[in-house]
């Protein structure tokens, strides 16, 4: 039987933050040539009076070998490497917010296909402190509160930092494989529960859909975790979670929050972070914003369906964006 992976993962994706925090092999720094290519691409769409997300890959053809090589390297790292990458080099003193967003979107189009992020049908999301924390409909990314570890409902999530907060707001990543390895070692009796389907809100067409947290298929482990969506999904369906299910989620959270597992980084203006949602979880620490609206923390978010994404098992439904 190969429906469950029951051996440790030793691939590059099974990293712990303490082991790679001082490395720079998860950072790509745009050199002068790559910036010139992107600047030329920006000028191409500006000449057509187009702005993200209202243009297609065909509107901005790029045939430069170095750029295409970088795109391939990013795609490979996301799927078969650490599962994330940070791109540095966009100069916020040279480009305004719209231009930064346009360059970000151009890169996204060469990595994959943007997908819808919310009921407003947005292909670009804006992560900023504009929501009412007392309103249950407010999503946490619209506040300045801590954003728990989770994975988004797409193959890849990208974040472009436009402005930092006054204080706080660090981004944190955790490897699903590292958490899996620890469950296998310390709580093997719980392993099967992570392969058992649970209701997840926003996964189905008309409400919560069934999905396991872990799925082993075609030689790769795929993971999906949004605890709030699991709890809400069961609440909506009127199916209480068992004590064992709750214990399994508590174990998952405890391991995920071990300091040595977490990779913390402060995204600086112009930085782009890309994560494979089946390989890593991401979170954001709470922050204090500036009183002036034009100075407040702001990130642009992009969800992508990518061509080299791992094959998913039939009981682990693919999800790229919201189904409306």
DSSP, residue by residue, 199-261: EETTSSSSS-EEE-SEEEETTEEEE---HHHHHHHHHHHT-PPPHHHHHHHHHHHHHHT-TTT
293: in domain: yes
Give the structural domain span for 180: 174-264
Residues 41 and 151 placed together within one structural domain of the fold: yes
Residues 128 and 92 placed together within one structural domain of the fold: yes
Average pLDDT over residues 102-126: 94
The residue from 264, 288, 317 where one domain ends is: 264
143: in domain: yes
13: in domain: no
pTM (2 decimals)?
0.92
Residues 59 and 88 placed together within one structural domain of the fold: yes
Residues 191 and 293 placed together within one structural domain of the fold: no
Average pLDDT over residues 213-235: 95
Residues 210 and 149 placed together within one structural domain of the fold: no
Q: Encode burial over 107-146: b for 16+ CB neighbours within 10 A, e otherwise.
A: bbbbbbbbbbbeeeebbbbebbbebeeeeeeeebbbbbbe
State how far the Cα of 117 lies from the Cα of 302, in Å rounded to an integer: 8
Residue 132, pLDDT > 80, answer: no
Residue with the bigger pLDDT between 166 and 105: it is 105
260: in domain: yes
318: in domain: no
CATH number, position 87: 3.60.130.10
Mean pLDDT of the chain: 91
Residues 179 and 142 placed together within one structural domain of the fold: no
162: in domain: yes
Percent of the chain whose pLDDT exceeds 90? 80
Residues 152 and 179 placed together within one structural domain of the fold: no
Residues 40 and 116 placed together within one structural domain of the fold: yes
pLDDT for residue 144: 55
In the chain, how many domains are there?
Answer: 2
pLDDT for residue 303: 97
Residues 33 and 79 placed together within one structural domain of the fold: yes
pLDDT for residue 139: 46
Residues 80 and 213 placed together within one structural domain of the fold: no
Residue 12, pLDDT > 70, answer: yes
Percent of the chain whose pLDDT exceeds 70? 92
84: in domain: yes
Residue 232, pLDDT > 60, answer: yes
Residues 158 and 45 placed together within one structural domain of the fold: yes
Confidence bin at 287 (pLDDT 50/70/90)? low
pLDDT for residue 133: 42
pLDDT for residue 78: 98
Residues 293 and 186 placed together within one structural domain of the fold: no
State how far the Cα of 152 lies from the Cα of 199, in Å rounded to an integer: 16
Angular region, 218: left φ>0, alpha ψ -120 to 50, beta rest: left
pLDDT digits (tens, 9 = 90+) for 302-319: 999 999 999 999 999 888
The residue from 234, 264, 294 where one domain ends is: 264
Confidence bin at 239 (pLDDT 50/70/90)? very high
Confidence bin at 297 (pLDDT 50/70/90)? confident
pLDDT digits (tens, 9 = 90+) for 64-111: 999 999 999 999 999 999 999 999 999 999 999 999 999 999 999 999
């Amino acid at each position: 039987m190969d429906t469950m992976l029951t051996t440790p993962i030793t691939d590059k994706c099974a990293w712990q933050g303490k082991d790679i925090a001082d490395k720079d092999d998860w950072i790509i720094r745009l050199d002068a040539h790559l910036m010139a290519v992107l600047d030329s691409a920006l000028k191409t769409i500006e000449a057509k009076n187009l702005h993200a997300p209202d243009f297609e890959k065909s509107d901005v053809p790029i045939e430069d070998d170095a750029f295409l090589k970088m795109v391939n390297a990013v795609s490979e790292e996301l799927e078969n490497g650490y599962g994330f990458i940070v791109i540095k080099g966009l100069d916020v003193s040279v480009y305004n917010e719209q231009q930064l967003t346009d360059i970000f979107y151009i890169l996204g189009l060469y990595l994959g296909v943007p997908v819808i992020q919310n009921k407003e049908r947005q292909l670009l999301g804006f992560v900023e402190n504009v929501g009412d924390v007392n309103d249950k409909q407010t999503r946490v990314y619209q506040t300045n509160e801590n954003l728990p570890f989770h994975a988004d409902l797409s193959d890849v999530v990208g974040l472009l930092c436009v402005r930092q907060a006054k204080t706080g707001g660090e981004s944190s990543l955790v490897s699903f494989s590292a958490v899996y390895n620890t469950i296998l070692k310390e709580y093997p009796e719980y392993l099967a529960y992570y392969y058992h389907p649970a209701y997840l809100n926003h996964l189905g067409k008309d409400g919560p859909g069934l999905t396991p947290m872990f799925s082993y298929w075609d030689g790769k482990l795929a993971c999906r975790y949004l605890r709030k969506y699991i709890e809400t999904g069961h609440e909506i369906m009127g199916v209480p979670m068992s004590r064992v299910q709750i214990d399994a989620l508590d174990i998952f959270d405890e391991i995920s929050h071990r300091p040595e597992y977490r990779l913390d980084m402060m995204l600086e203006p112009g930085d782009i972070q890309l994560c494979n949602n089946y390989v890593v979880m991401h979170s954001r620490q709470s922050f204090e914003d500036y009183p002036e609206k034009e100075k407040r923390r702001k990130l642009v978010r992009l969800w992508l369906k990518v061509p080299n994404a791992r094959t998913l098992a039939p009981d682990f439904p693919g999800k790229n964006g919201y189904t409306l």
